[in-house]
Structure 1
Amino acid sequence: MAAVKSPLSDSDLKVVGEALQGALIDLIDLSLVAKQAHWNLTGRNFKVVHEHLDEVVAIARAGQDDVAERAVAVGVNPDGRARTVADRTQLPQLEAGYLDDDKVVAAITDLLAQMISRFRERIKATDEPDQVTQDLLISITSKLEKQHWMFQAQT
């Protein structure tokens, strides 16, 4: 099987690969957590929050595809398997069952803040080894920060 030859040195590839894999796990789990909340949401602000969660899912899904494709482009195999995500996620998980809209807004606000912090660490880590990957991470972080602001405004 042919492998993609990386344009990066081995040491740079290690840093970039870790950043991309961590971002992939965050984004896959964000899409799952937001969809879980979307399906089980209740409360007086149901419609607004329900639709807003779909925006988060769309951003997460687009971002995970971009991150995975960037990984392959630089010679790293992305691992988005369910077991990998479950074992390595750092995102707090929601309770099972129906979820009050106020609790969902608070949980998603907190979850996005944690993700943004990790994405900003990845942005710093990729500054020297690969500014193309850094640019991708900056773009995704901008979208996550916008969603964080919008959820935070609802608290």
Structure 2
Amino acid sequence: MTIITGPLPEQDSRAVGAALQATLVDLLDLSLMAKQAHWNLYGARFRSLHLQLDEVVTTARDYADTVAERAAALGISPDGRAATIAGTSGVPTFPPGWARDADVIEALVLTFSAVIDGVRARIGEISSVDAVTEDLLIGLTAELEKQSWMFQAENRL
């Protein structure tokens, strides 16, 4: 049953919905991965990375909310349930247990690369269909690339 209707034709709505859903799942998983690293971090760079990881969580959660609300505004029901995240995320798995600072940095660099690649691909898929969603994903990509740069700079000791 359709409760909310959006302005896009059905075919375009499906394409945009798929892009938004995949992005939502990746952002929610990124936030969970960063929190897991935040809680289990140790090493000489603990304090600065601990705070930096909180920034990643905030960015991922804020954009996840924006992405989900964009989907809802288009009449697409967003799905952020744990099982959906676990089954469809493109975020690399983060290992359990304590995490050394250098390993956390390396994991975040790889994670940002995967998420950015996914979002960039989705921008290409929907660019001719919905300029508003394209703009949202472009802004997200800029923020993710900034965060990625900061972790890459940390990794060059």
Q: What TM bracket, shorter-length normalisation?
A: over 0.9
- Equivalent residue for 2:51? 51
**One-letter amino acid of the structure 2 residue matched with residue 88 of structure 1:** T
Instruction: Return 119-128 or 60-69, whichever deviates more.
Output: 119-128
Residues 21-60 of structure 1: per-residue CA shift (max 9 Å, x gap): 0000000000000000000000000001110000000000
- Equivalent residue for 1:131? 131
- SS of the residue 1:37 aligns to: helix
Q: How much has 1:137 moved relative to structure 2?
A: 0.6
**One-letter amino acid of the structure 1 residue matched with residue 143 of structure 2:** K
Q: How much has 1:116 moved relative to structure 2?
A: 0.4
Gaps of 5+ in 2: none
1:37 aligned to 2:37?
yes
Identity in percent: 48
- Equivalent residue for 1:97? 97
Q: Counterparts of 1:81 and 1:37 in 2: how far apart (Å)? A: 21
Size of the aligned set, in residue pairs, is: 155
Instruction: Return 85-94 or 42-51, whichever deviates more.
Output: 85-94
Q: Counterparts of 2:3 and 2:87 in 1: how far apart (Å)? A: 27
Q: How much has 1:95 moved relative to structure 2?
A: 1.2
Q: TM-score, normalised by structure 1?
A: 0.97
Residues 98-148 of structure 1: per-residue CA shift (max 9 Å, x gap): 100000000001110111011001111111110100001111111100000
Q: How much has 1:2 moved relative to structure 2?
A: 6.8
Q: How much has 1:3 moved relative to structure 2?
A: 1.3
Calculate the aligned-residue CA RMSD, in Å: 1.0
Q: How much has 1:62 moved relative to structure 2?
A: 0.2
State how 1:115-154 maps to structure 2 within 5 Å: 115-154=115-154
Q: How much has 1:91 moved relative to structure 2?
A: 1.1
- SS of the residue 2:109 aligns to: helix
- Equivalent residue for 2:79? 79
Gaps of 5+ in 1: none
